[in-house]
C-alpha cells in the first residue's frame, strides 16, 4: 500500500475516534447489526462477506473482501416512555412510590460512526482494522415525582413528595434522572484463508466506555458504603457515611480488551457457513460509580456467539439465516436481580448481607436474562449497479417483569426489527450503501419493586438510517 493510502486510512481512523459519542443499540444493549449492508439484512450475513466492516461480525472473512476502506454513520432514534400507576400506599409504611408519572425520555437522536480497512497479504493472509460505536443504556427523564420517608425509621419526618423519577430533589437535585452509556470499539484482525473452502481469523478487541448516572442519590441508604458505616446494634445512633460514588458525578471512563475468533466455510457454490465467538471483555471499574454497580463499579461486556448459514440460489440472489446469543447473565452488574438489595441491612427487610447492598460484590443490577436473536436476510442484485437487501430479526427482550424499578434507567424492550437497504455501484470498486431499520413498539409491565401496590410500564420503539461509502483498491 502506498503512502497516500496509508495516510488516508490513518486520518480516517483518527477522525472516527474523535467522533465516538453516544451509540445505542437494540438487542438489550447490543446493536442489531454492524455495517450498512449487515444492518440492511437485520444483522444477518456472518457467512456472506461483503465489506471491510464485516470483520467485526466475523474476523475470518477478511481474506474474502479484498483491499477495501469503508466509512459510514447512522442516525439512530430510540423513543422511550415509562408510566407508573396510582399507589394505595403513597410513601406510607416504608413504601417508595414513584409518581404516578408518565414521561418520555428527552434523548432521541444519536450519530453512530464506523470505519474499517482491510489489507490482503501473501499466502492467504489478511489484516484488518475497524472502529465502531455501541451502547444502549441511555435515558433522560425530566420531571416526575417520588414520595417516601426521607429520614426512614430514624427521624421524625413522614412521607414527603420530591421532584424526579426517584425523588432526587430530596438531595437538592433538579429532578432530572437517567444514565448514559457509550462504547467505542477497536478491532485489530488477522485472518488466514487455508483453502477455497475454509478460513479462520482472530481479532484483538479494545474498548473504551463512558458512563454517567444522575438522579439516583435516593438510594444512598442502600449502598455498602452507607450500611457498613452504621452500628448494627443501634443504627439510629450512628452517623452514616454518605456514598460519594453513586450518582451525579459526571462522566467516568473505563477500558478493557478481549478477543474474537471466527471461521468462514464456503461449503460449495450454494452454501456458506460462518461462526464467531467473542469473549467476555474485562473492563476496568467505573470508580466514580463504585457505589452503584456491583463489585465496586465493575461493568464488563458479556460474551456473545454468532453462527450463520447463507444459501446462494443464484449469482444474484442469496438468503441468510443467523443466530446470535448474548450472555448478559455472566455480568453481575447487569444480571443481578433487584431482590438482592433487600438482603442489605439498611433495606428494612431484616437483611444482614453487606455484599448485597449497592456497590457490593452481590449488589443489585437490572436483572437481565440472556438473549437469543434469530435473524433472516435476503440480498438481490437486479443489475450490475443495484443490489437490494431486506431483513427481519426477533429476540425476546431481556427484562423480566419482576425487574421494573431499576430498569426505568434502561428500558431495553425491543424484540422485532424490520430492515431494508440498497447498494449503488456506478463506478467499479466505489459503492454507496444505505440501510433503514424500524423496530415497532414493545412494552413490559410489572410491579414496582419498592411499592407492591404500584405497577410500572415502559415501552420503546425506534428507527435508524445509515449511509456508508467504500473504496476497493
Parse the chain into domains and list their residue ranges: 3-472
Domain covering 3-472: architecture: Beta Barrel (2.40)
* Banded pLDDT at 137 (limits 50, 70, 90): low
Q: Of the given ranges (101-110, 333-342, 426-435), which has the lowest mean pLDDT?
A: 101-110
Distances (CA, A) of 156 to 160, 162, 169, 236: 12, 17, 19, 12
Span 430-458, mean pLDDT? 97
Share of the chain above pLDDT 90, in %: 84
153-166 pLDDT tens trace: 777 778 999 999 99
- Position 16 pLDDT exceeds 60: no
117-132 pLDDT tens trace: 999 999 999 999 999 9
250-280 pLDDT tens trace: 999 999 999 999 999 999 999 999 999 999 9
Residue 84 near residue 99, CB atoms below 8 Å: yes
Q: SS3 string of 63-114?
A: HHCCCEEEEEEEEEEEEEEEEECCCCCCCCCCCCEECCCEEECCCCCEEEEE
Q: Of the given ranges (151-155, 275-279, 337-341, 418-422), which has the lowest mean pLDDT?
A: 151-155
Q: Is 54 left (phi over 0), alpha (psi -120 to 50) or beta?
A: alpha
Residue 368 near residue 327, CB atoms below 8 Å: no
Q: Which residue has the higher pLDDT, 279 or 106?
A: 279
* Banded pLDDT at 13 (limits 50, 70, 90): very low
Q: Please, which residues have CB within 8 angstroms of residue 334's CB and are 6 or more apart in sequence?
A: 299, 302, 328, 365, 366, 368
364-394 pLDDT tens trace: 999 999 999 999 999 999 998 999 999 999 9
Average pLDDT value for the chain: 92
C-alpha cell at 156: 421524625
Q: Which residue has the cell 459503492?
A: 431
What pLDDT does 21 receive? 46
* Banded pLDDT at 135 (limits 50, 70, 90): low
Q: Is 94 left (phi over 0), alpha (psi -120 to 50) or beta?
A: left
- Position 304 pLDDT exceeds 50: yes
What pLDDT does 25 receive? 59
User: What distance in Å separates the CA atoms of residue 62 and residue 52, rounded to the nearest whole number?
Assistant: 7
- Position 324 pLDDT exceeds 90: yes
What pLDDT does 20 receive? 46
Span 217-227, mean pLDDT? 95
> HSE (CB half, 13 Å, CA atoms) of 71?
11
What pLDDT does 61 receive? 98
- Reference 136, options 439, 364, 400, 419; nearest CA is 439
pTM score? 0.93
What pLDDT does 9 receive? 41
* Banded pLDDT at 136 (limits 50, 70, 90): low
- Position 11 pLDDT exceeds 60: no
Amino acid at each position: 500500500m502506498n503512502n497516500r493510502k496509508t495516510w488516508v486510512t490513518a486520518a480516517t481512523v483518527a477522525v472516527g475516534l474523535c467522533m465516538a459519542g453516544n451509540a445505542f443499540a437494540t438487542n438489550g444493549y447490543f446493536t442489531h447489526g454492524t455495517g450498512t449492508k449487515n444492518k440492511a439484512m437485520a444483522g444477518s450475513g456472518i457467512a456472506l462477506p461483503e465489506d471491510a466492516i464485516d470483520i467485526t461480525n466475523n474476523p475470518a472473512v477478511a481474506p474474502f473482501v479484498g483491499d477495501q476502506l469503508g466509512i459510514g454513520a447512522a442516525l439512530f432514534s430510540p423513543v422511550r416512555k415509562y408510566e407508573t400507576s396510582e399507589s394505595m400506599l403513597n410513601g406510607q409504611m416504608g413504601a417508595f412510590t414513584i409518581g404516578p408519572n408518565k414521561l418520555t425520555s428527552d434523548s432521541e437522536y444519536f450519530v453512530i460512526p464506523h470505519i474499517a480497512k482491510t489489507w490482503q497479504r501473501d499466502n492467504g493472509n489478511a489484516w484488518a482494522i475497524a472502529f465502531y460505536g455501541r451502547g444502549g443504556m441511555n435515558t433522560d427523564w425530566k420531571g416526575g415525582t417520588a414520595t417516601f420517608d426521607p429520614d426512614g425509621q430514624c427521624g421524625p419526618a413522614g412521607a414527603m413528595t420530591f421532584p424526579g423519577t426517584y425523588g432526587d430533589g430530596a438531595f437538592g437535585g433538579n429532578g432530572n434522572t437517567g444514565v448514559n452509556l457509550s462504547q467505542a470499539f477497536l478491532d485489530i484482525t488477522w485472518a488466514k484463508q487455508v483453502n477455497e473452502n475454509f478460513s479462520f481469523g482472530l481479532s484483538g478487541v479494545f474498548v473504551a466506555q463512558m458512563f454517567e448516572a444522575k438522579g439516583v442519590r435516593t438510594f444512598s441508604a442502600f449502598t455498602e458504603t452507607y450500611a457498613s458505616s452504621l452500628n448494627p446494634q443501634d443504627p439510629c445512633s450512628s452517623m452514616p457515611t454518605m456514598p460519594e460514588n453513586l450518582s451525579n458525578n459526571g462522566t467516568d471512563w473505563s477500558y478493557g480488551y478481549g478477543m474474537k475468533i471466527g471461521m468462514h466455510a464456503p461449503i460449495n457454490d450454494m452454501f456458506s457457513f460462518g461462526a464467531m465467538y467473542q469473549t467476555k471483555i474485562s473492563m476496568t471499574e467505573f470508580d466514580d460509580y463504585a457505589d452503584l454497580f456491583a463489585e465496586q463499579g465493575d461493568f464488563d461486556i458479556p460474551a456473545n456467539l454468532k453462527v450463520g448459514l447463507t444459501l446462494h440460489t443464484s449469482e444474484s440472489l442469496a438468503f441468510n439465516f443467523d443466530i446470535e446469543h448474548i450472555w448478559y447473565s455472566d455480568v453481575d452488574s447487569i444480571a443481578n436481580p433487584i431482590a438482592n438489595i433487600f438482603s442489605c441491612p439498611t433495606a428494612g427487610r431484616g437483611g444482614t448481607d453487606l455484599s448485597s447492598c449497592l456497590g457490593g460484590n452481590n449488589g443489585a443490577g437490572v436483572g437481565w436474562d440472556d438473549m437469543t436473536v434469530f435473524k433472516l436476510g435476503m440480498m438481490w442484485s437486479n443489475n450490475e449497479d443495484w443490489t437490494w437487501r431486506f431483513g427481519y430479526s426477533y429476540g425476546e427482550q431481556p427484562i423480566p417483569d419482576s425487574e421494573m424499578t431499576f430498569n426505568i434507567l434502561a428500558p431495553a424492550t425491543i424484540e422485532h426489527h424490520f430492515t431494508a437497504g440498497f447498494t449503488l455501484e456506478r463506478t467499479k470498486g466505489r459503492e454507496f450503501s444505505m440501510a433503514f431499520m424500524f423496530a415497532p413498539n414493545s412494552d413490559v409491565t410489572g410491579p414496582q419493586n419498592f411499592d407492591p401496590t404500584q405497577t410500572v410500564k415502559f415501552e420503546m420503539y425506534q428507527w435508524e438510517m445509515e449511509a456508508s461509502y467504500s473504496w476497493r483498491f
